[in-house]
Structure 1
Amino acid sequence: MGVITFHFDFPSPIPQAKMFKAAILDADNLLPKVLPQAVKSVEVLEGDGGPGTIKLMTFAEGNPYKTAKHKVEVLDKENFTYCYSIIEGEMLGTTFEKITHEVKINALPLGGSMLKCTDSYFTAEEINTWKEKVSAMYEAIEDYLLANPDAY
């Protein structure tokens, strides 16, 4: 099996720094609030949030998965870049060794931001489902920030 990588962009009216702070730096707290039907909790198992940190995401009841263990690969606050790998959990099954998600948040010239995402898998079967879930996560964060303009 080889790695299959795909890219997608998610434009947002939310400014670059605000989106990075919410979607990346505070995601552990924000995801259970904006996606309670999907994410029950995120806890740091080891590390300080930077590269090498291991996190455990617990999914809400009714989801096909119970948990996913993430490893932070890159956290670059100056360049608004983040990368993590799912290294354990039911979603890997026997098909995937890991799933890696990279995001770079760029400022747009007229305001807002562009999230440039790259996901890498060892098979193509789950790609569209994963892309939809990642897009839904950023949409939920965007909706929250639009509804709460003073947050962050």
Structure 2
Amino acid sequence: MGVTCFTQELACPNSPIRMFMALIQYSSTLIPKLLPQFIKSVEVIEGDAAAGNGSIEQVNFTRGSHFKYVEHIIDAELDKEKLVCKYTLTEGGPLGDKLASIAYGVRFEAASNGGCIYKITSEYTATGELQEKEEEIRSGKESAMGIYKVLEAYILGKPHAHI
């Protein structure tokens, strides 16, 4: 099995705790609300996604999407104090027959301007030799960044709302 890793850092005007809450704790309700044209629903299959560790979620896409669904498990590292989450895409979506899993690590750190830096690592584990085209990986990363940017704008527009 081949493994390929990528790392990204993005600056955000929102505080680290608000971004963590929106992207990790409340994503199952916020994402379908903010992106109904792409996300039909997010179902908790097992556990309590807001509590984290070991929970399994299924994201169901709308009819026009490239994928029907993706399923991911929140791994043992969901730390609300350190604002860190690790989750693994285990089924559906871009995995197909080429990828066994995609593991994501997300960390939110305070920035000097009152906003935050979110750091994302992604680890693609292939079922055989990794021959995933760089363009396909970049497209997947851009889709994820699109979700982050929508949530970022939503939070920025509601500075006093409890997220």
Same fold at TM > 0.5: yes
Retained in 2: the 8 A contact 1:46–1:53?
yes
Using the size of structure 1 for normalisation, the TM-score is 0.95
In 2: Cα distance, 1:90 partner to 1:136 partner: 17
The structural deviation recorded for 1:79 is 0.5
1:26 corresponds to which residue? 26
Q: Specify every segment of 5 or more residues in structure 1 that has no aligned partner in the other structure, as ranges.
A: none
Residue 129 (str. 1) matches residue 139 (str. 2): yes
In 1: Cα distance, 2:21 partner to 2:93 partner: 28
In 2: Cα distance, 1:75 partner to 1:148 partner: 25
Counting aligned pairs with the same residue, the percent is: 38
RMSD of Structure 2 on Structure 1 (CA): 1.2
Q: Which amino acid aligns with 1:140?
A: V
Q: Which amino acid aligns with 1:41?
A: S
In 2: Cα distance, 1:24 partner to 1:7 partner: 18
In 1: Cα distance, 2:107 partner to 2:60 partner: 25
Q: Which amino acid aligns with 1:95?
A: K
Q: How does 1:33-112 map to 2 (within 5 A)?
A: 33-49=33-49, 50-73=52-75, 74-112=77-115
The structural deviation recorded for 1:13 is 0.2
SS of 1:137's equivalent in the other structure is: helix
In 2: Cα distance, 1:40 partner to 1:9 partner: 28
Aligned length: 152
The structural deviation recorded for 1:110 is 2.0
Retained in 2: the 8 A contact 1:10–1:135?
no
SS of 2:99's equivalent in the other structure is: coil
Residue 145 (str. 1) matches residue 158 (str. 2): no
In 1: Cα distance, 2:113 partner to 2:160 partner: 21
In 2: Cα distance, 1:34 partner to 1:130 partner: 19
Q: Specify every segment of 5 or more residues in structure 2 that has no aligned partner in the other structure, as ranges.
A: none
The structural deviation recorded for 1:102 is 1.0
Q: Which amino acid aligns with 1:129?
A: S
Q: Which amino acid aligns with 2:10?
A: F
